[in-house]
């Protein structure tokens, strides 16, 4: 047995594993099915090379002489088409690369491959009868078409580079870029070395045909590694998406979360930025006295029913829940997704919240629970973003606007909704208010003009 035939056998086995791996990974994906077929074809090519170099006399050597090239030419067409699919160019056939549309390059390349395939099958113009060498055994010899065939192979490598560059530049995310870059450059490097050992060096009568399949083994290992790595990264990406969605749903309405996760708000991230927002605060009057007079289980039960009712309204008006803190609720309007009418949404929610609170209040009064709701609303610029530490972050608004909303809430009597002048200026044509006048609030050096919200006009 010629030891130089062993690399081809190794390559054939690796390509068999690759074809099974890619198709079983995602059999519905067109690009995976094509890679599986391509890998199977490369396996047949490697087996033909193995059988040729295994030949010890002229009869089997002559039989297997043309098989590798007969199988190679369909493979190179499939390789270029696979590169087009991998780099998302299959729907951009009219896009120009290297002075011609992609479909023009592909049909020219496929036509050249068919021409050389016919030359291999029906003549000796490309592949001549084999020749026995003292060290390497039987090797291919070549006819006058061998130089044009080498130029054809160079053209294929140039097409691969052009499609790879386009795919990497247009990739939608880092994971997609990784998949394209690793697969593409593994394919390009492997084919380049195969071209060197199988075409260039033999052109100068350096017989390295048997080594040409070693780069194919490299290609298959790169692809197998890429599939395993991509699966791992894909799982990580999905876990991160699940975690992010779960985190977002804690303080955003389902429709806002859907908007963020579907990418409709391009460039949106929960980053720190300064933005005009409306901040809503509410808490329960008499809650401290109530919690001191009943069992903790009753307190939790009451808070759960209260928050469940109020939480529906927060999401209805696209508010961002900053936190539930005991009986207190803080909601931000206008972040992270900008909203033109953030003050009006806060006002409408406050009024509906007060209306929804009345049935709860009557139910609690039957149990002798004396509780009422106080609400404060303020508009202005705040720094919004995630606050916390790794693994535990909350989306919040920091600034005077938040402090003022909290102070208004503290000042509000049971059933009263107080708001700042900034809120009033946003909604003055749509609400009925009563001006309370200038009030001094803790943490503010000057009195603040305060309005009581009565209802909508």
287 and 199 fall within a common domain: no
Domain's final residue, options 195, 227, 246 = 246
Tell whether 141 is covered by a domain: yes
What is the total count of domains within the chain?
A: 2
**Model pLDDT, residue 254:** 60
Tell whether 255 is covered by a domain: no
Q: Judge whether residue 426 has pLDDT over 50.
A: yes
Q: Return d(Cα 49, Cα 52) in angstroms, integer.
A: 5
**Model pLDDT, residue 306:** 93
155 and 280 fall within a common domain: no
111 and 216 fall within a common domain: yes
Q: Judge whether residue 144 has pLDDT over 70.
A: yes
**What's the predicted TM-score (pTM) here?**
0.53
Q: What are the pLDDT digits (tens) for 159-196?
A: 888 888 777 777 666 666 666 776 777 777 777 888 88
Tell whether 334 is covered by a domain: yes
The answer to whether the beta carbons of residues 47 and 12 sit under 8 Å apart is yes
Q: Judge whether residue 3 has pLDDT over 90.
A: no
Q: Judge whether residue 261 has pLDDT over 70.
A: no
pLDDT band at 265 (very low <50, low <70, confident <90, very high): very low
Mean pLDDT of 205-217: 73
Of residues 433 and 204, more confidently modeled? 433
**Model pLDDT, residue 12:** 85
Q: Judge whether residue 52 has pLDDT over 70.
A: yes
Tokens of 28: 């519905």
277 and 232 fall within a common domain: no
Mean pLDDT computed over every residue of the chain:
84
Tell whether 52 is covered by a domain: yes
Q: Judge whether residue 395 has pLDDT over 70.
A: yes
- Tokens 């928050």, located at residue: 307
**65: nearest Cα among 55, 77, 80:** 55
201 and 149 fall within a common domain: yes
The answer to whether the beta carbons of residues 396 and 331 sit under 8 Å apart is no
pLDDT band at 266 (very low <50, low <70, confident <90, very high): very low
Q: Judge whether residue 213 has pLDDT over 90.
A: no
Q: What are the pLDDT digits (tens) for 332-386?
A: 999 887 888 999 999 999 999 999 999 999 999 999 999 999 999 999 999 988 7
Asked whether the bond before 348 is cis by omega within 30 degrees of 0, the reply is no
292 and 242 fall within a common domain: no
Q: Return d(Cα 200, Cα 125) in angstroms, integer.
A: 18
Question: Range with the lowest mean pLDDT among 93-102, 202-211, 277-286?
Answer: 202-211
Choose from 31-40, 84-93, 141-150, 347-356 the range with maximum mean pLDDT.
347-356
Tokens of 233: 């990264």
* Domain containing residue 89: CATH number: 1.20.1070
Tell whether 7 is covered by a domain: yes
209 and 310 fall within a common domain: no
Name 321's bridge partners: 331
419 and 307 fall within a common domain: yes
- Tokens 């004396």, located at residue: 370
Q: How far is CA 241 from CA 245, 247, 248, 393, in A?
A: 6, 10, 10, 16
196 and 316 fall within a common domain: no
Q: Judge whether residue 19 has pLDDT over 90.
A: no
Q: Return d(Cα 204, Cα 212) in angstroms, integer.
A: 15
Q: Return d(Cα 414, Cα 456) in angstroms, integer.
A: 19
Tell whether 147 is covered by a domain: yes
The answer to whether the beta carbons of residues 164 and 179 sit under 8 Å apart is no
Cβ neighbours of residue 206 closer than 8 Å, sequence gap 6 or more = none
Q: Judge whether residue 128 has pLDDT over 70.
A: yes
The answer to whether the beta carbons of residues 250 and 307 sit under 8 Å apart is no
Max CA pair span of the chain: 109
Tell whether 266 is covered by a domain: no
3-state SS assignment for residue 107: helix
Q: What are the pLDDT digits (tens) for 38-50?
A: 888 888 988 998 8
The answer to whether the beta carbons of residues 427 and 344 sit under 8 Å apart is yes
* Domain containing residue 422: CATH number: 3.30.70.1230
**25: nearest Cα among 234, 227, 233, 239:** 227
163 and 294 fall within a common domain: no
pLDDT band at 391 (very low <50, low <70, confident <90, very high): low
Tell whether 268 is covered by a domain: no
Q: What are the pLDDT digits (tens) for 281-331?
A: 999 999 989 998 999 999 999 999 999 889 889 888 988 888 778 899 999
306 and 214 fall within a common domain: no
Choose from 21-30, 106-115, 319-328 the range with maximum mean pLDDT.
106-115
Domain holding 100, by residue range, is 3-246
Q: Return d(Cα 50, Cα 53) in angstroms, integer.
A: 5
Provide the 8-state DSSP code for 197.
I
**Model pLDDT, residue 273:** 86
The answer to whether the beta carbons of residues 302 and 338 sit under 8 Å apart is no
54 and 190 fall within a common domain: yes
Report how many helices (DSSP H) and strands (DSSP E) the chain contains, helices first: 15, 12
Signed CA dihedral, 339, 340, 343, 347: sign only? negative
**436: nearest Cα among 449, 455, 423:** 449
């Amino acid at each position: 047995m010629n030891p130089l035939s062993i690399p081809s056998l190794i390559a054939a086995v690796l390509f068999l594993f690759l074809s099974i791996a890619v198709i079983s990974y995602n059999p519905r994906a067109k690009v995976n099915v094509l890679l599986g077929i391509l890998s199977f074809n490369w396996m047949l090519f490697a087996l033909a090379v193995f059988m040729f170099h295994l030949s010890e006399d002229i009869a089997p050597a002559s039989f297997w002489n043309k098989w590798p090239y007969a199988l190679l030419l369909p493979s190179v067409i499939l390789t270029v088409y696979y590169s087009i699919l991998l780099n998302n160019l299959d729907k951009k056939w009219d896009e120009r690369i290297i002075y011609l549309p992609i479909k023009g390059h592909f049909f020219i390349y496929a036509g050249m491959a068919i021409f050389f395939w016919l030359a291999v099958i029906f003549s000796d113009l490309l592949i001549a009868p084999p020749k026995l060498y003292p060290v390497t055994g039987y090797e291919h010899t070549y006819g006058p078409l061998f130089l044009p065939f080498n130029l054809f192979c160079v053209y294929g490598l140039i097409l691969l580079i052009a499609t790879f560059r386009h795919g990497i530049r247009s990739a939608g995310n880092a994971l997609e870029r990784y998949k394209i870059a690793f697969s593409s450059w593994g394919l390009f490097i492997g084919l380049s070395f195969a071209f060197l050992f199988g075409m260039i060096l033999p052109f100068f009568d350096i017989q390295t045909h048997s080594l040409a399949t070693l780069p194919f083994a490299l290609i298959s290992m790169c692809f197998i590694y890429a599939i395993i790595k991509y699966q791992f990264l894909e799982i990580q990406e999905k876990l991160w998406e699940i975690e992010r969605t779960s985190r977002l749903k804690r303080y955003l309405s389902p429709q806002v979360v859907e908007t963020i996760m579907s990418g409709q708000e391009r460039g949106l991230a929960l980053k720190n930025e300064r933005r005009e927002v409306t901040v809503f605060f509410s808490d329960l009057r008499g809650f401290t006295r109530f919690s001191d007079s009943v069992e903790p289980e009753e307190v939790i039960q009451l808070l759960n029913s209260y928050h469940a009712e109020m939480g529906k309204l927060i999401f209805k008006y696209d508010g961002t829940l900053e936190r539930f803190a005991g009986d207190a609720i803080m909601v931000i309007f206008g972040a992270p997704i900008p909203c033109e009418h953030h003050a009006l949404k806060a006002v409408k929610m406050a009024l509906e919240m007060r209306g929804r609170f009345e049935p709860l209040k009557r139910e609690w009064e039957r149990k002798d629970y004396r509780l009422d709701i106080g609400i404060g609303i303020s508009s202005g610029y705040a720094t919004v973003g995630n606050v916390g530490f790794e693994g535990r972050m909350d989306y919040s608004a920091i600034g005077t606007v938040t402090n003022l909303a909290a102070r208004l809430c503290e000042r509000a009597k049971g059933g009263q909704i107080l708001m700042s002048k900034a809120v009033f200026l946003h909604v003055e044509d749509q609400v009925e208010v009563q001006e309370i006048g200038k009030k001094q609030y803790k943490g503010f050096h000057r009195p603040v003009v305060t309005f009581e919200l009565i209802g909508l006009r």
